[in-house]
Structure 1
Amino acid sequence: MRYGYLIAVVLVVIVLGAAIGWRRVGLKLHASERRGWVANTGYVRNLPRYRTLMRKTRMIVAALLAVFCVGAASLAVVAANPVDRRVEDRRLASRDIVLCLDASGSMLDYDSEIGEAFKTLVEHFNGERVSLYLWSGRSVRKFPLTDDYPMVTEYLDELSSVLRNGILARTSNGYRISRELAKYLEGTDDPDEQVASQIGDGLASCVLGFDHTDQERSRTVILASDNEVVGQGLYSLSEAIDFAKRQKVEVIGLFPGDYLGTDGEDMKNQVESTGGRLYKMTSSDTVDSIIKDIEAKQVNEIEGDARVTVTDRVGTPAGWLAVAILSFLGLLGVTRL
């Protein structure tokens, strides 16, 4: 409310005006009242027509009172001038986050859950730009860096749904998947089927997904993988990590299992060398911990301070006021019929 105090002022004035008006009308009626008694008319109160008229009068009076209260409340709100205030903190716009998901066969059991975790993370963002990459033998960008959160949520919903419903059966060679899932993962497999789960190549492609490299920005990759590499790619994990550090990119790791093993320990050490941490998806507080980790990072200042946008929102209360006035006049007309 721009002038919130006016609500109380308007209501007090209306109540006092109504009380004074009611008292003056009552005094006039009392002064001019002439009583006359008519014998044998007590039975009139029991007549159906009399009862109907009295019931109708009470209903109209109650309706008038209700409409009057609605009108008074609406007038008070209109006078207070309700507004929407939206704070645009441009500092948050200097934070870029790439969601980097291993789409290899060994991760399919976990990727739906990770997709839900990504969606929960995005729900806590406010101004950050987000991107999504899927990779195995090759890397595919699902969408570039954007702060269009409805679109991001739609993509992450699709990710979770397709992965959750796409595994039809387990086979001796892996999984039998649906056509929808195969189409969704198209482009992530090596055409020659020589390599898979190339975490180094996947991470390097995610690091390359950052733009505005000439600007001071906070850059984070959330890397979800089990680090079970098949074949030889262009980058090893350590080489990709070195590339990330040269680009001043922090890497946060998501590991699907509870037991790290050799692959998990290697991934943990590599991730921590960038200033990030490795989290296990089996932990119940993983998402909350990542959110706290991201929010605790230094947010680089860019041109402009926080800006407040104020928009008037008197349309709804003004509409109720108009309805109340028309209803009040209509009820007055009914009472004269």
Structure 2
Amino acid sequence: MELKNPLFLMVGIPVVIAAVVVFHLIKMKMQYSGGVKAANTRFVKELPEYKKLKRFRNILGYATEAALIVSMIASLTLLARPYKTETTGSGVKKRDIFLCMDVSYSIYNLNAELVDRLQKVVSGMKDDRFGIAIYNTSTVLYVPMTDDYDFVVKKLEDIKEYFILQKQYMDKFGKYNYTSEIPDEDMDEYKRLRTELDYYDAGTLVDNMTKGSSLIGEGLASCMYDFPRLEKQNRTRVIIMSTDNAQEERSKPLVELQEAAELCKKNDITVFGIFPNKSQFDQDMSMDYETDKEAMRECVELTGGSFYEESDSLSVDDIITDIQRKEAMEVEEITTTREVDQPKVPLTVLMIGLLTAFGCGMMLMRGWKLK
């Protein structure tokens, strides 16, 4: 244990000793000054009761004096501020996890299951951070990287409502190519659903008429750049991407999926891909299920991640459990040195000393006087 202000003890202790010596010298000089002296007290002083009371009174007096001296030294020690130096290291396994979801209407079932499962996972997180990005034509940073798990769970609950609305819309109105085909009695419900869906769609459909839909590469690349301090590789970075890889571009995308995967690999970001089962794949699109699946698998495995195809034998729940088993990188240990005050011992001694002095003083004053 070291002292921040040792001068208090270096000066204070000699002062306390000097004060005690001066007190006793004055006490000796004043022992017989003043008052009326009594004669023939030897008989009284020889009485056993008198000796007993005098001895006890002396003990109380010495104890009071000692307690006060100890209290003063403890106070000086507190003023000197005892402390110890602690060195700590932070070699904790930590991950930054981004959920990157293609929110085109073709995979609402997969997204709804994924969000539902991740709510439970996020609630049990510790030290990891979590973020959410959603994309179609354009990307929206729905939840910036955070360790506020309550907030993340709430936002997952909110976006789950989006996928429920997508399902309601597709079940009832997905078969119509034009608004004019919708029966009049269903128009109110259609308008209600479109109004609620437009709230979510607005940010993900910027320039949709010129760029197209489900721009997978741009979505993945945008999500990658949402990681805070991307150049600092001090945490394991993971992207969980759900998509059917059914890109419908109307002009050349800025980034294709292959290029986005190479960027992720370059920045040590592992991508786990979740692909819908064949029954969920939109059969009306001019896309090929196997071709899209294999192209996505190749890009995901390029980053060192795993590719999952949801099926009757492999549910979203199984997929997320498997991703959780992946070992997180241990952060490079950062050593921190700090000074921690240690007032506990001198403060305890001070309190005991004051209580002892108070107790002895009360007994001297009230119950143990010579009569």
Alignment TM class, shorter chain as reference = 0.5 to 0.7
Provide the TM-score with structure 1 as the length reference.
Answer: 0.59
Structure 2 SS opposite 1:131: strand
Between the aligned partners of 1:121 and 1:298, the Cα distance in structure 2 is 15
In 2, distance between residues paired with 1:151 and 1:120? 13
1:232-283 per-residue CA deviation (whole Å, 9 max, x = no partner) reads 3111110000011111100000111247511011101110111111112334
> What residue is the counterpart of 2:176 in the other structure?
172
Q: Partner amino acid for 1:128?
A: D
* 1:1-337 equivalence runs, <5 A: 91-92=92-93, 94-166=94-166, 167-168=168-169, 169=172, 170-173=174-177, 177-194=193-210, 195-212=212-229, 213-231=231-249, 232-258=252-278, 260-282=289-311, 283-303=313-333
Distance 1:174 1:128, change over 3 A: farther
1:191 counterpart letter in structure 2: D
Distance in 1 (alpha carbons) for counterparts of 2:294 and 2:205: 26
Distance 1:174 1:117, change over 3 A: farther
Structure-1 separation of matches of 2:123 and 2:310: 18
Q: When the two structures are aligned, how many residues end up with a matched partner?
A: 217
Task: Give the drift of 1:299.
Answer: 2.2
Q: Give a deviation string over 1:53-88, Cα, whole Å, max 9, x none.
A: xxxxxxxxxxxxxxxxxxxxxxxxxxxxxxxxxxxx
**Cα pair distance change 1:235/1:134, threshold 3 Å:** same
Report the secondary structure of 1:193's partner residue: helix
Matched-pair identity in %: 29
Give TM-score scaled by structure 2 length: 0.53
CA separation of 1:214 and 1:285: change in aligned 2, threshold 3 A? same
Is the 2:271–2:300 contact (alpha carbons within 8 Å) kept by the matching residues of 1? yes
Where does the alignment leave 5 or more consecutive residues of structure 2 unmatched?
A: 1-89, 180-189, 280-288, 336-371
Greater C-alpha Rg? 2
Superposed CA RMSD in Å reads: 2.6
Query: For each residue in 1:114-148, what CA deviation from the matched residue of structure 2 results, as whole angstroms up to 9, or x when unmatched?
Result: 22133233234222100000001000011110011
The higher relative CO (CA closer than 8 Å, separation ≥ 6) is in: 2
What are the ranges of 5 or more consecutive residues in structure 1 without an aligned counterpart? 1-88, 306-337
Deviations along 1:211-252, one digit per CA (max 9) or x if unpaired, are 122232200000100000011311111000001111110000
Displacement of 1:109: 4.2
Distance 2:225 2:292 in 1: 24
Displacement of 1:303 after TM fit?
4.0
TM-superposition CA deviations, 1:169-216 (whole Å, max 9, x none): 223339964422220222101334231100000000111011122232
User: CA separation in 2, counterparts of 1:227 and 1:174?
Assistant: 25
Q: Structure 2 vs 1, CA of residues 124 and 279 (structure 1 numbering), >3 Å: closer, same or farther?
A: farther
State the partner residue of 1:49. none
Counterpart CA distance in 2 for 1:285 and 1:162 is: 21
Task: Quote the Cα distance in structure 2 between the aligned partners of 1:192 and 1:135.
Answer: 12
- Give how far 1:302 is off: 4.2
Given that residues 280 and 286 in structure 1 are in contact (C-alpha distance below 8 angstroms), is that contact kept between their aligned partners in structure 2? no
